[in-house]
Amino acid sequence: MRIATFNINGMNARLPALLQWLDETKPDVVCLQELKTPHEKFPEEALKDAGYGAIWHGQKSWNGVAILARGTQPVEMGRGLPGDPEDVQSRYIECMVDGVMICCLYLPNGNPAPGPKFDYKLKWFDRLIARGTELIGKKEPVVMAGDYNVMPTDIDVYKPERWLTDALFRPETRAAFHKLLEQGWTDAIRHLHPDEVIYTFWDYFRDAFGRNAGLRIDHFLLNAPAARRLLAAEVDREVRGREKPSDHAPVWIELK
DNA sequence: ATGACTGATGGAATCAGA
């Protein structure tokens, strides 16, 4: 089973590029973030024509997450991250596909930091850590995939010294990510490529992709049953170099 | 230190992204 995560930065702006990539690579499951579209404008029919069932949690203008499954309908297990009934942002959805639990998440950016947006990021992280506690020990494979908006270590940033005060790299943010990992999650990309410089995002500014001034912020965290099945973890880097790209590239894992 | 680029909204200019 191949599972991908892709922050598409606008579902409808990216639809042609998304359909092309689906046709080329045919992932079994796709977690999407930053749909930037209300529920009713999600292109359900176009995805069905491409062979994918979908569940999604839309929101006007910002955020929004979806899970696609090839040849089947994902069985939704929940939407909205538990722990704050006041939180109206669409950033989390869970489902089952062929016995694998898939969690699709879009963690808040948190800039500027410090400030209310950074506080929201850290609180959201606490809720994700609480959800992680509930999921880590499951007997079935669990995959938490998405845009975490965290570079876990120095190797994940093109110039770490420039990012020390940024919400994506501040010590509090990295500490929260490591607290989640310490529950027993495996960072799939880093597990299979321990020393390699691998990025998943390149800014639109200043020819960041051309200079390879990137960040690794899209991650797959696997519980032990999922990690035992891990065969491959890669970034479809060339997608970022195409016409009208997202600022993120798709990332994917293969499970036995 | 600043600004550069893109998408959504709404129909210009602003917010948000990371």
Asked if A7 CB < 7 A from strand B, the reply is yes
Q: Summarize the confidence of residues A66-80 as an average pLDDT.
A: 98
Looking at residue A255, its pLDDT comes to 98
Q: How confident is the model at residue A227 (pLDDT cuts 50, 70, 90)?
A: very high
Asked if A247 CB < 7 A from strand B, the reply is yes
Its pTM stands at 0.97
Looking at residue A72, its pLDDT comes to 98
In the numeric block, the tokens 């960072």 are attached to A187
- What is the third-level CATH fold of A2-255? Deoxyribonuclease I; Chain A (3.60.10)
Residue from A28, A92, A147, A199 carrying the catalytic annotation: A147
Q: Which nucleotides of B are covered by protein (CB under 7 A)?
A: 3-9, 16-18
pLDDT digits (tens, 9 = 90+) for A157-197: 999 999 999 999 999 999 999 999 999 999 999 999 999 99
User: What is the Cα–Cα distance from A79 to A135, expressed in whole angstroms?
Assistant: 15
Contact indicator for A11, A57 with CB cutoff of 8 Å: no
Q: Summarize the confidence of residues A20-25 as an average pLDDT.
A: 98
In the numeric block, the tokens 């880590």 are attached to A136
Looking at residue A198, its pLDDT comes to 98
| Sign of the CA dihedral with A220 first, then A230, A199, and A173 last | positive
Q: CA–C1' distance A129–B6 (Å)? A: 32
Looking at residue A105, its pLDDT comes to 98
Contact indicator for A113, A176 with CB cutoff of 8 Å: no
Contact indicator for A35, A8 with CB cutoff of 8 Å: yes
pLDDT digits (tens, 9 = 90+) for A35-57: 999 999 999 999 999 999 999 99
Asked if A217 CB < 7 A from strand B, the reply is yes
Where do the domains of chain A lie? 2-255
Give residues 152-211 of chain A lying near strand B (Cβ < 7 A). 168, 201, 203-206
Bridge partners, A100 (sequence order): A97
Q: Which amino acid is at A214?
A: G
User: What is the Cα–Cα distance from A185 to A136, expressed in whole angstroms?
Assistant: 7
Q: How confident is the model at residue A86 (pLDDT cuts 50, 70, 90)?
A: very high
Q: Which amino acid is at A160?
A: P
User: What is the Cα–Cα distance from A216 to A143, expressed in whole angstroms?
Assistant: 18
